[in-house]
Structure 1
Amino acid sequence: MAKRIVILMLLAFTSLSLSGCLVAESTYLKKAEEADTLGREAATLQEMHQKLSAENGALKAQLAKVREEAAGLAKEKEKLGADNKELEQVLRAKTDTLSQSVADLRQKVTDLETENTRLKAEIAETRKAREEKVREVSKTYEDLLDRMKGEIAQGQVTISELKGKLTVNMVDAILFDSGKAEVKQGGMEVLAKVVDILKGVQDKMIRIEGHTDNVQIVGNLTKRFPTNWELSAARAINVARYLQGQGIDPTVLVAVANGEYRPVASNDTEEGRAKNRRIEIVLVPRDAPDRP
């Protein structure tokens, strides 16, 4: 009985020993598995840490760059602000200058408009006065044509009108005897036909021009008229004196000697020379030059 009990006790102990061994082995395996899992998890975490560290470094670098750019933008903004302020001052100054220029130009335009209005009125007045003078010259021309139609028909007188200048051309034969400078009776009668008309002419100078042919003066006549200059001058002066004696204002009379130097025809023929020996009574505006 006692032996049986001992055996039973040995079996129980053995059983307990085997059971303990089994429990210890199971715990080891479990711990080993946990350690392996933790190792893998640690490796994963280590890899994540490395990635996060690299990403953190990149973000820090990016942040530094952004801050640098922000600082640059701030400086640029500050510079733009200063430039804008300066530009505003320049624009304000230019605006003031332009405003003054516009005001000056408006005043000039106003002055020019006033001046143009005055000039238009002056032009209209001048044109009207000129038209009146033209009508006056035309009437004088028509009156002379009527008064001297006989002499004109005989070719002794020609009358022309050009640009406000009226010319009465008289051949010397109807005014002077050959080689003489005094106006003969028949010449006085011819001149008398123009006196009343010339008296009615206003704002005109009456220019008496003496002309000769190119035949030189010879013989005793040279004592009085050394050249054709003197003969043409004496004839022009005597006609002017006659007109003065008939009541024409001497201040409007001008005597001019042209001699042989302003022919109207060829001196190669008697007919041409006869045309060149002439007295011209020319009506010209008072402000016209002495020589046409």
Structure 2
Amino acid sequence: MIKRLLVYIAGSIFLLSASGCLVAESTYLKKAEEYDTVSKELAELQKTHQKLVLENAALKTRFNRLTEDAAVLAADKKQLEGILKAKSDVLSKNISELRQQVAELKVENGRLNTDIAELQKAKEEKVKEVSGTYEKLLANMKNEISQGQVTISELKGKLTVNMEAAILFDSGKADVKPEGLEILSKMVETLKNVNDKAIRIEGHTDIVQITGGLTRIFPTNWELSAARAINVTKFLQQEGINPLNLSAAAFAEHKPVADNNTKEGRAKNRRIEITLVAKD
């Protein structure tokens, strides 16, 4: 419309010029001024139009880019939702399995606590039994204990009766002498009641080696300590102690309990030990 107006004004000016002084000069100037104004407005509008065209193109480009970004984000969202669901399913399964395991562990813990309580009770009963055996042996052998010929010790459920060889055997002999049999007899009734322990009879000597004609019977201290331990074991069996609970062992001079350089020490090392230990 503006363009047609400019053409119209221009045409009017031309006609006025061609027709001479058909119109006043003021009218011509007015029309020329209007033409200039409209021309400027047209230029501004064209400039604005061009700017808007560029902005529109930029907005379309941005819109397209945002549309693409939105599509990518939507795809990412869908993928992440799938991953999240898969992980959620796995997590739910793991939680269910863990709950089952916790329940099973609670049952197992309850069973273990019951077993522990029973074992503790059994242990306490065994300790009481060993303590009872210990007290009975102390009472039965108080004379020998008071003379230092016998010692009885109890440590962590292990009971040991230590008897010097002199009260059981003559020097260089393995047969238990009558006095020794009387001492061993004091233990028999108590040991008969021991069924949950192994009764081990150990023979020990000092470091003095066997010499002379005695070597024909006992070449070394091994044979002597073994013969003494076996003879004590046989006597206990003959007196009614279950042979399945009995065993004999020899250590010769290799497990001393005192100094072998003194007479008193050697006397202590020549000994029979009867030990109550846990069965294999």
2:48 alignment counterpart: 55
TM-score, normalised with respect to structure 2: 0.91
User: 2:83 matched to 1:90?
Assistant: yes
The correspondence for 1:205, drawn from 183, 198, 201, is: 198
Question: What letter is aligned with 1:255?
Answer: A
Pairwise CA RMSD: 1.3
2:111 is aligned to 118
- Cross-structure match for 1:216: 209
TM-superposed CA distance for 1:31, in Å, is 2.4
For residues 75-102 of structure 1, the C-alpha deviation after alignment (integer angstroms, 9 at most, x for no partner) is: 1111111111111111111111111111
TM-score by length of 1: 0.87
Greater shift in the superposed pair: 175-184 or 76-85: 76-85
Match runs of 1:21-170 below 5 Å: 31-170=24-163
Distance 2:217 2:64 in 1: 115
Percent identity reads 55
Q: Which amino acid aligns with 1:75?
A: E
Total equivalences in the alignment: 261
2:101 aligned partner, one-letter code: K
User: Which amino acid is the alignment partner of residue 150 of structure 1?
Assistant: N
Partner AA of 1:66 in structure 2:
L
Moved over 6 A (4+): none
Q: Name the counterpart of 1:227.
A: 220
Q: Which blocks of at least 5 consecutive residues in structure 1 are unaligned?
A: 1-27, 288-292
Q: State the secondary structure of the residue aligned to 2:24.
A: helix
Does residue 195 in structure 1 map to residue 188 in structure 2?
yes
1:93-114 CA-partner distances (Å, limit 9, x unpaired): 1111111111111111111111
The SS at the match of 1:284 is strand
Structure whose CA Rg is larger = 1
What is the CA distance between 1:234 and its match in structure 2? 0.5
**Aligned equivalents of 1:47, 1:166: Cα separation in 2:** 126
Give the aligned residue type for 2:92: S
SS in structure 1 of the partner of residue 148 of structure 2:
coil
Structure 2 letter corresponding to 1:256 = A
Deviation at 1:30, TM superposition (A): 6.4
